[in-house]
Structure 1
């Protein structure tokens, strides 16, 4: 039971490394989708990002499983 006091310190030391690695993993995942860019047929994703075409959106979905197709065409800004 005495090791439980050391657990929060351990988590503080490990979590920043995990948070630092996560963006680079996501960036690499996104870079792998660059070869999917072909004919321009923009589609809007559920993350309000306009993707070059459906193939790119589906590739990005491998990086972000919650990503969904919203509509064809560019995403409309909330402020426009």
Structure 2
């Protein structure tokens, strides 16, 4: 399994509940581009998914514009939770 960078781990730890991009940026104090790149990596490894903020308990959203990730809400997947547990 992928070894997480410190910034990826920081993002993943904050996504136990659905969080909009702005909140992730506020809480991590990371730059927009760094968060964007980390989220794309985490999504490609199926550790994070995009969700509809109006229906956070529904399944993952089928649409995500990687050029405008600031408009989306994210949450950790079951695989992401398991990955965090293995790394502790």
- Flag whether TM exceeds 0.5 (same fold): no
TM normalised by structure 2 equals 0.24
Q: Name the larger-Rg structure.
A: 1
Per chain length, whose mean CA-contact separation is higher, i.e. which structure has more relative contact order (CA < 8 Å, sep 6+)?
2
TM normalised by structure 1 equals 0.26
